[in-house]
Amino acid sequence: MDLNNILSQLGAGSKETVYLSVTPGVGLELIQLDMSNHSVKTYAYRPLNYNDALREISDFDAFKTAVTELFEETKINMKSNVVLNLPMVLFGSKELPLLLADDAVMEALTSEVEQSYIFKRYEPVVSWCDSNSSQSGDMRKLFYSAVQKNTVEAITNALAELGIKLSGVEVSLTSILKALAFSGLAEDEMRDNYSWNLMLVTQNGYSICSMIGKNIIDYYEEPLAIKSFEGDEIYNAINASLQITLMSYPANCLYIISETDMVSAELLSKRISFDGIIKYLENNSYKKQDVIPVSLNILEEIASKISLEAIGIATGSSVSFPVKFNFTLGSKTEVINDPDEPVHIPIGENGYDLSPNAARNIAFLIAIIVLLPTFGVFLGVPMIEKQKQAQLDDVNARLEQTNAEIKRVEDELNMSNSFDVNTEIKKVLGFNRDKLISYSALGESVPKQLYITYFVAKDNGKVDIKGGASNVEDIYAFFKNMKESMINTQLRIQKLELKTDSVDEAVTIDPSAPSDYEFEITNMSAPELSQIVVPPSNDPKKEQEDKK
C-alpha cells in the first residue's frame, strides 16, 4: 500500500484542495501549484461574466456549469475543498478605541460598510484585522473588507450541490500581494522598512495601496469611467488624477499593475512623473511572460490567461501575509481558510493535503503504534524476568554442584599428590583443539575431483591422509590448502603415484586417457606410520592383489 492510500485511510488527502478565482477579463480559473518548485501544475479556465458596476457574478447557474466543466477537464474529484478568490468589492481602514469588544467592532464596521452604494441593496459579510502599524494612544487602526452575503451564499450552495465544500473566500487585493511575494516579483519592495505604493488599474478606476514592506499602511480608491475614454485620453486622465493622489502617499517606488485590457501598465508607467522607481506588471492581455513557470501539460495560449489573483489564492497558507480575511465566517480572523481546510505538505516530489482532523487521526495512530510495543514490554518484562531468573537459578545451582565436584577432586589429588587437574584439563583441551583443527582443515580443503580413502588424527597433532584424484594439480592444491590451514604441522607428500591394478596395466596404459593417482600426505615419521593399523579394504580385487 502506497503513502496516498495510507493517508486516504486516515482522512489525509481524501479531499483535495482546489483553488478557484473569479477574475474579470479571464472568467473562472481553476489552479493548483507545485510548491516544491514554485510552478503551476494544474490550470484551466472558463469564460464567466462579471458585473463590474455591481461587483458581482452575473449568472450563478453559469458559475456552477463552469465549475463542473473545470473539474471534468482537470479530472479532479468533485468531493474536494475549494478556496475562492473574488474581485474586491470594498476595502477600507478605520480607527476605533482599543477597549472596544469584537462584537462592538463588528457592529461599527458594518455600519461603515453599509454607507457604500453596493451595500445599500445587499447585506454585507464583513471581515477585519488589526493593522500592524504602531498604535497611537487609546486607538487602534483596523483594515476591513466586505462582500455581498447573497453572493457568498449562492456560491456556497452551487458548490454544495456539486459535492464541493467552500473552505475559504479571499479578495483580489490580498491575493495579488501574495502572488507578488510568492513569485518574487516584489521581493525588493517587500523588504522591511521599505516604502512603496501598489497601484491597481481596473475597469472602474484605480486604487493606491500604501505599503511598508509587507504591511499595508493606507488604502485609497479613485473611481474613473475608463470605458468613456478613447485612445490616449485614458492615460492622460489617470496621470492627471494620480499626480494629486501621490502627493498624499510619498514612497520610494510605484508598482503599477493593470487588470484591464484598456490600459497598458507599461505605457502608463512612461506617462507618469514620479520622483522614485517605477515598476509595472501586465495582468491582462498585454502580458509578455508567465509570472511563474507552468507545467508542460499546459498549453502556451492557456498559460497566458493565468492571473495574479489565481496564483495568489493558490498559495494557500504557504505565504504568510499580515492582512487576512475570511468571508465564510464573516468576522475577524487570523487565517483565510476554513478551520478544517487541508494544509498542503510537500514530501519529496509529491505533496499531500492534511486537514486538522486527519492530523488528529494520524497522531492517534502514531500514538497507538508507539504505545502498543511499550505496553507489551510493560506486560512482558515481568514474565521474561521471572523466566530468566529461573534459568539463572538453575545455572547457579549446577555451577555450585560443579565447583563442589572440582573441589572434591582437587582435594583428593592434593592428598595423593600424583595428579594435577589443571594440567590435565589443559592437555585434553589442547588435544581436542588439534583434532578439531585437522578435521576443519580437511573439510575446507578437498577439491571436487579428489577423494579421501583414509584419514587418522592423533592427539599430538599428527595426521595421515590417503586418497586419490584424477589429476596431480588437485592433489597439490589439496596439499597446499591443508598446509596453510594446519600451520606449523610440517606436512609432506609421503606418496604420489599412478593407481594401477597390475604391472601389465601400468605398461599398456593409454597416455591420452584420464589417469587416477594415489597419494598420502602426513607429518608422521616412518616408525609412527608403521604402527598404524590400516582397516581392511572393501574392494575384493584390491584384497586379492594384496594377498599376492
Q: What string of DSSP letters covers 400-439?
A: HHHHHHHHHHHHHHHHHT---HHHHHHHHHHHHHHHHHHH
Domain residue ranges of the chain, discontinuous segments joined by +: 15-185+291-354, 188-286, 355-419, 425-547
pLDDT surpasses 90 at 1: no
Q: Is the pLDDT of residue 75 over 90?
A: yes
> If you average pLDDT over residues 388-393, what whole number do you get?
85
How much of the chain is in helix, strand and coil states, percent to nearest 5? 40, 25, 35
Determine the Cα–Cα distance for residues 316 and 170; give it in Å rounded to an integer. Answer: 10
Each residue's pLDDT tens digit, 438-483: 666 666 667 877 888 888 887 777 888 899 998 888 888 888 888 8
Query: What are the cell numbers at 419?
Result: 595428579
β-pairing, 124-130 with 139-148? antiparallel
- For 491-503, the pLDDT digits (tens) are 888 888 887 655 4
Q: What is the mean pLDDT of the chain?
A: 81
pLDDT of 477: 85
Closest of 85, 89, 88, 87 to residue 29, by C-alpha: 85
Min mean pLDDT across 203-207, 239-243, 302-306, 423-427 is at 423-427
Looking at domain 188-286, what is its CATH homologous superfamily? eRF1 domain 2 (3.30.420.60)
Distance, in Å, from the CA atom of 349 to the CA atom of 36, rounded to the nearest integer, reads 7
pLDDT of residue 196: 96
Q: How many Cβ atoms are within 10 Å of 246's Cβ, its own excluded?
A: 19
Q: What pLDDT shows up at residue 494? A: 82
Residue type for position 230 = E
- Mean pLDDT along residues 116-136: 82
pLDDT tens digits, one per residue of 227-258? 888 888 899 999 999 999 999 999 999 999 99
pLDDT band at 330 (very low <50, low <70, confident <90, very high): very low
β-pair partners for 130: 142
**pLDDT (average), residues 410-424:** 64
Report the percent of the chain where pLDDT is more than 90. Answer: 40
Domains 15-185+291-354 and 188-286 share a fold: yes
pTM, two decimals, is: 0.61
Query: How many Å apart are CA 502 and CA 542, to the nearest integer?
Result: 10
CATH pick for 15-185+291-354 out of 3.30.1360.120, 3.30.470.20, 3.30.420.40, 3.30.70.20: 3.30.420.40
Average pLDDT over residues 127-146: 82
CB contact set of 172 (below 8 Å; sequence gap of 6+): 23, 85, 86, 87, 88, 309
Radius of gyration, CA atoms only, the chain: 47
